[in-house]
């Protein structure tokens, strides 16, 4: 199994769930979900994939990853 491909699929599913929200809220909720429910190694792998070009990532995930790079104070 390709772990990165699976993480991209899962992240895109989260983004798809929130895509009907206003854009900023969708990004915040997607980042929050990933931060709350993904283990650190999964988040790190997603960040690395995004830094390498982020092939296949939904636009909301791409923006959520930028929030994940920031401090964890307050909400996502």
pLDDT value for 75: 46
CB atoms near residue 54 (< 10 Å)? 18
At 29-57, the pLDDT tens digits run 999 999 999 999 999 999 999 999 999 99
The structural domains of the chain, with segments of one domain joined by +, span: 4-69
For residue 12, pLDDT beyond 50? yes
- Three-class SS of residue 11? helix
Residue 64: is its pLDDT beyond 60? Answer: yes
**Of all residues in the chain, what percent carry a pLDDT higher than 70?**
91
pLDDT at 11 over 50: yes
DSSP-assigned letters across all residues of 46-63: HHHHHHTT-TT--HHHHH
Checking if the pLDDT of 73 tops 60, the result is no
């Amino acid at each position: 199994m390709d772990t990165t491909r699976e993480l991209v699929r899962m992240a895109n599913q989260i983004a798809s769930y929130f895509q009907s929200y206003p854009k900023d809220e969708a990004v915040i909720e997607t980042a929050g979900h990933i931060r709350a429910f993904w283990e650190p190694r999964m988040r790190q792998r997603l960040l690395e994939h995004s830094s390498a070009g982020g092939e296949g990532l939904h636009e909301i995930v791409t923006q959520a990853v930028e929030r994940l790079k920031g401090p964890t104070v307050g909400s996502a």
